[in-house]
Amino acid sequence: MHSYRVRWEEAEPDPRYAELARRQAAVKIITVPILTLHGGDDRVVFAQSSEGLEKHFTAFYRRVVLDGIGHFPTREASDQVSRLLAAFLDSHGKR
């Protein structure tokens, strides 16, 4: 809950995570394969927020917007998420 409050500027970040946040912000390019699954009806983190980010990834990058799905794709569309994740893992030798 606290992370949402920080995101909405209703609380200060927890200082115990300041170093982790600094290290995370310092990373400009991600070099591992990425699959982003975004609920098209997510009203917490809008799907548009993940558009056009390909330049930040040097390995495989795929973004999938799941129409009619909200903030919790793994609960709301578990079969679809499972299929996408299995295909991603199969194609990158991780399964």
pLDDT of residue 78: 97
pLDDT of residue 59: 93
Question: At 2, is the pLDDT very low, low, confident or very high (cuts 50, 70, 90)?
Answer: confident
CA distances from 50 to 35, 46, 66 (A): 11, 8, 13
- Sign of the dihedral defined by the CA atoms of residues 34, 38, 44, 45, in that order: positive
pLDDT of residue 9: 87
pLDDT at 23 over 90: yes
Q: Say if CB 64 and CB 38 are below 8 A apart.
A: yes
* 42-86 pLDDT, tens digit each: 998 899 999 999 999 999 999 999 999 999 999 999 999 999 999
Whole-angstrom distance, CA of residue 47 vs CA of residue 77: 16
Q: Which two tokens stand for residue 73?
A: 């794709």
pLDDT of residue 94: 64
- Mean pLDDT on 26-55: 93
